[in-house]
Structure 1
Amino acid sequence: MIHTPLLPEHGGPDDGPSAAFDFSTNASPLGPPPALLRAVQAADRACYPDPGYRALRRRLGDEQRVLPTAGGAEGIRRLTLAAMLSGRREAWVPQPGFGDYALAAHALGLAVKSYSDPADIRPTAPALVWICEPSNPTGACLAPWPDLGDTLLIVDRAYEPLRLQGEAPTLPAHAWQLVCPNKALGLTGIRAGYALAPATDAIWALALSLAPSWVLSAEGVALLTHWLDEDTQAWLADVRTQLRVWRTAQRALLADLDWQQRDSCTNFWLARPPQADMLPRLRERGIRLRDATSFGLPGWVRVSTQPPAAQQALQLAVLEIEGEDA
């Protein structure tokens, strides 16, 4: 049986000219801490990393629970395959949510079931459950979560380092975590992350065995090696402080332009411009936003917090478009 290919849709670069101001990415616009960046730039590209990444796994936590991944997307694919091979037959995915959860499950023949509220998760077979906390694309907090019993629960924490309000919820003891630091560090071009298992078990061993050889580049090893450094975490604390100021100003700006906006605890959120054709017209002016249609939210866009110069450019472009329509 031949399956019809399903392709993911992402924000960020498209096939057009580079955008001068990119509100579509939910990565930090403030970049990496200097010491971490220097380590990445100094990474030894002439040698293979240790294929077992033993020293890195010890640095990130328990060597017997850490699984290096080539970013979140590779981790999602590999963990979904491990779930299927371990007997899971259903995959519960957030809707709206990152499309790769469902695509990975569809590709393996799992029954894909969506939910908007975690309270609606009711598996009828051995299941894999994905929770993105905070949520993408909404930036909302989904906790509290119901008791999901013996499901394979994986919490995607890619956006936790950019939580700008509230506290991270306590994770269930049996939850896996998928950690993707490159967004918070403004280094999304380096594909590096890791999964943290609740315990060394058959699924952990299976997921480890399914990894491609040298899943992380030398640059990825350098990034993750310095992820938990005190300097890195202090830098991120300062980043969050600055982003809170910029986010307040940007939300006020959009409100003044009559854009609808949803609440969020992160540096990104959902907004709806008054004009249906606003997105391509802004793109023509060098400003990119993330169309939320692929999330099941036509008419909405995901916008990320950007510096004052980008905000001013967005405001001027919107006013210019409105002037053309007047």
Structure 2
Amino acid sequence: MNPLLLPEHGGPDDGPAATFDFSTNASPLGPPPALLAAVQAADRRAYPDPAYRALRRLLGDEDLVLPTAGGAEGIRRLTLAAMLAGRREVWVPQPGFGDYAQAAQALGLAVKPYAQPADIAPTAPALVWICEPCNPTGASVAAWPDLGGHLVIVDRAYEPLRLQGDTPALPPGAWQLHCPNKALGLTGIRAGYAVAPAADDMWRHALSLAPSWVLSAEGVAMLTHWLDDDTQAWLAQARATLRDWTAAQRALLAELDWQQRPSRTHFWLARPPRPDYALRLRERALRLRDATSFGLPGWVRVSAQPPAAQQALQQAVLEIEGEDA
């Protein structure tokens, strides 16, 4: 068997620090002050409650909420739980986050990519991953079909960063995976949670597979304040700012002759005039997310960044074009 390759990600790499990072799809606005203060004040001297009972009650039904060490750990654990619950096929969005397929391949499960909901046609008991809105495209659909009989998990990491349109109807009986650190600009805190539709075999497997103290004290503090009114008001204002930055950056890239795909979020797919732009911009301390690993060579994923970053991107592109003239 060929060795499995680790999925590629945006964000930090092993090169010099980027002055401006357009590759990450986390919010560039950082966390709300009150939530950040709570994280910084977290008591690191003691273990959290290993059952996280108070936190689970805050996040929903205590008997259905499952804390996770971020989205990636949740994807791995829920895929394993799905296998133990009898699922043998895993349907994943393409293009999509690489960890869905990676988790299934590591367990020897059949991986089936789909581009549209109509493409999903399981031939065996299946796990179906939905990312809504989707990473890396930022795309959304009008409504998701009923996939009755199959296990559906909706990754909602980017729902708080939806800038346009309403949340579509989700398949009935779907699990939901929440990863607030993206919208809060705190991706260094590995904390999220899943919500099960019922305390069934899948739930029991997922609960039993959790490592002890899956959340750190900082993770507990972040999730404790995630649903606070102050946090949600801050996020609403952040989305308004991101709409302005997104519109300005899209206009800038259009002027520079970059192709761009539609998106409902502050990140989207773009195609520079030349395929070496990502590398050449990285040499100028600007990072883009090369989309080759998504099956889209020549494309990059970009996220809206503050005006100063946009100005630096424009200047760097003009320098590259000047060198090639």
With the shorter chain as reference, the TM-score category is over 0.9
Matched, 1:74 2:69: no
Once the two structures are superposed, residues 230-268 of structure 1 have per-residue CA deviations (whole angstroms, 9 ceiling, x without a partner) of: 000000000000000111100000000000000000010
The whole-number CA distance in structure 2 between the counterparts of 1:223 and 1:11 is 23
Q: Describe the SS at the equivalent of 2:281.
A: helix
The whole-number CA distance in structure 1 between the counterparts of 2:256 and 2:39 is 41
Q: Map of 1:97-246 to 2, 5 A cutoff?
A: 97-246=96-245
Quick check: 1:119–1:145 contact (8 Å CA) kept in 2? no
Return the TM-score normalized by structure 2. 0.99
The whole-number CA distance in structure 1 between the counterparts of 2:35 and 2:70 is 17
The whole-number CA distance in structure 2 between the counterparts of 1:239 and 1:311 is 18
Q: Map of 1:48-67 to 2, 5 A cutoff?
A: 48-67=47-66
Match of 2:83 in 1: 84
Q: Describe the SS at the equivalent of 2:9.
A: coil
Q: Structure 1: give runs of 5+ residues left out of the alignment.
A: none
The whole-number CA distance in structure 1 between the counterparts of 2:146 and 2:44 is 46
Matched, 1:16 2:15: yes
Matched, 1:298 2:297: yes
Paired letter, 1:112:
V
Q: Which runs of 4+ in 1 moved over 4 A?
A: none
Quick check: 1:135–1:142 contact (8 Å CA) kept in 2? no
Paired letter, 1:176:
W
Paired letter, 2:244:
V
Paired letter, 1:162:
L
Shift of 1:317: 0.1
Match of 1:314 in 2: 313
Return the TM-score normalized by structure 1. 0.99
Paired letter, 1:19:
A
The whole-number CA distance in structure 2 between the counterparts of 1:46 and 1:3 is 43
Shift of 1:3: 5.5
Q: How many residues align?
A: 325
Paired letter, 2:268:
W
Quick check: 2:141–2:168 contact (8 Å CA) kept in 1? no
Match of 2:37 in 1: 38
Q: Structure 2: give runs of 5+ residues left out of the alignment.
A: none
Q: Describe the SS at the equivalent of 2:254.
A: helix
The whole-number CA distance in structure 2 between the counterparts of 1:27 and 1:304 is 8
Shift of 1:145: 1.9
Q: Describe the SS at the equivalent of 2:137.
A: coil
